[in-house]
Amino acid sequence: MSARTPTPAQIRAAAATLVAGTLSAGRSLDELLANDPDEGSARGLKRSLVYGTLRWHFRIAEILRRLTDRPPEQLQPRLRALLEVGLFQLLSGETAPHAAVAETVSAARELGHARAAGFVNAVLRRFQRERDALLAAVDADLAVRTAHPAWFVECVQRERPAEAVTILEANNAHPPMWLRVNRRRSSVPACTDALAAAGFEVERHPFAPDALRIEPAACPANADPCSMQTKTDTGPASSGSPVSQPLTPGPQRRPAALEHRRQRGRTKQPGRRRAQRETRGVA
């Protein structure tokens, strides 16, 4: 991409390239993102599309299988990845449907698949028409509905039958956002009040008095938390580094645990890693 701000189609093309590199080439997503040149909103949108598509890959892949005459595995890797990115946008609802379809079709041209633009449009439009029936069909399979490998779902159901669905659904939830109050600059009550006034729900942890868990993890659109910039630290409660950037609206990204379970599109390890995420702020 050029040094100029990338277009929406270019962002989706770049996201598809990253998804293809992870699913088809088996490369580490962290490695692929390490040299990401984009900044600001382009960077945030691209990563939101990549992480969301990979998180829901097993479900999206089954939907795609029912929308095309050829098995997804026979499609060119970046074209297949672009279709998954487009379907993720329609499923998540974070992008207006007409924009998601139009920009994904344009992204096919950016990827050098101009002749496939009509195919991309047809697949996405068909999903829009048949959405309810398609989702009812694929979601009948718990592994597909929760986007986990079938073998893993079988293991969870065997080991924790009463909790299996809860475990699988929790593994797709966003990790919480933790802040550590810098007592040299403010106080826990003052930061709690400021965050609540900005539209956050704030919860203190019984074993980490300086730690605040906030919901939603992404800043409300009308919030101005810049005044919190030097008063809190983000991340684990034990962190001592000051915040160099204020909390700003943006997509929530899953931590490195996603990379381990998604980098080859085959493995998924929720229980222990989810517990680590939940307790990381109080380690």
User: pLDDT of 101-129, one tens digit each?
Assistant: 999 999 999 999 999 999 999 999 999 99
Question: Residue 175: pLDDT above 90?
Answer: no
* pLDDT at residue 3 in the model: 61
**Statement to judge: residues 141 and 181 lie in one domain:** no
Report in angstroms the alpha-carbon separations of 271 from 58, 72, 156, 280. Answer: 19, 30, 9, 14
In a domain, 101, yes or no: yes
- Run of H or E including 275: helix 271-279
Residue matched to tokens 């684990």: 236
Give the CATH number, domain containing residue 17.
1.10.940.10
In a domain, 265, yes or no: no
What is the pLDDT averaged over residues 248-257? 36
Q: Which residues of 68-95 are buried (b: 16+ CB within 10 A; e: fewer)?
A: beeebeebebbbbbbbbbbbbbbbeeeb
What is the pLDDT averaged over residues 180-205? 91
In a domain, 225, yes or no: yes
**Statement to judge: residues 126 and 193 lie in one domain:** no
Report in angstroms the alpha-carbon separations of 73 from 54, 64, 233. Answer: 16, 10, 44
Residue 230 half-sphere exposure toward CB, CA atoms < 13 A: 2
Percent of the chain with pLDDT over 70: 75
Distance CA 13, CA 82 (A): 7
In a domain, 23, yes or no: yes
**Statement to judge: residues 140 and 187 lie in one domain:** no
pTM for this structure?
0.68
In a domain, 163, yes or no: no
Kind of pairing between the strands at 201-205 and 177-181? unpaired
* pLDDT at residue 240 in the model: 39
Domain boundary among 97, 124, 145: 145
In a domain, 30, yes or no: yes
The pair of three-digit structure tokens given for residue 149, joined into one six-digit string? 């490998």
Domain boundary among 125, 145, 165: 145
In a domain, 283, yes or no: no
**Statement to judge: residues 40 and 134 lie in one domain:** yes
Question: Residue 238: pLDDT above 90?
Answer: no
Distance CA 153, CA 160 (A): 10
Amino acid occupying residue 57: H
The range of the structural domain enclosing residue 71 comes to: 8-145
Torsion 233-236-241-243 (CA) sign = negative
**Statement to judge: residues 93 and 205 lie in one domain:** no
In a domain, 56, yes or no: yes
pLDDT digits (tens, 9 = 90+) for 5-16: 889 999 999 999
* pLDDT at residue 147 in the model: 95
Domain boundary among 145, 168, 198: 145
* pLDDT at residue 21 in the model: 93
Give the CATH number, domain containing residue 204.
3.30.70.1170
* pLDDT at residue 140 in the model: 96
**Statement to judge: residues 137 and 188 lie in one domain:** no
Grade residue 217 by pLDDT with cuts at 50, 70 and 90.
low
Total count of domains within the chain? 2
Contact 244, 212 (CB under 8 A): no
* pLDDT at residue 262 in the model: 38
Grade residue 34 by pLDDT with cuts at 50, 70 and 90.
confident
**Statement to judge: residues 85 and 210 lie in one domain:** no
**Statement to judge: residues 140 and 181 lie in one domain:** no
Percent of the chain with pLDDT over 90: 55
pLDDT digits (tens, 9 = 90+) for 128-159: 999 999 999 999 999 999 999 999 999 999 99
Q: How many CB atoms lie within 10 A of CB 35?
A: 6
pLDDT digits (tens, 9 = 90+) for 262-283: 333 443 444 444 444 443 443 3
**Statement to judge: residues 121 and 196 lie in one domain:** no
**Statement to judge: residues 192 and 141 lie in one domain:** no
* pLDDT at residue 232 in the model: 53
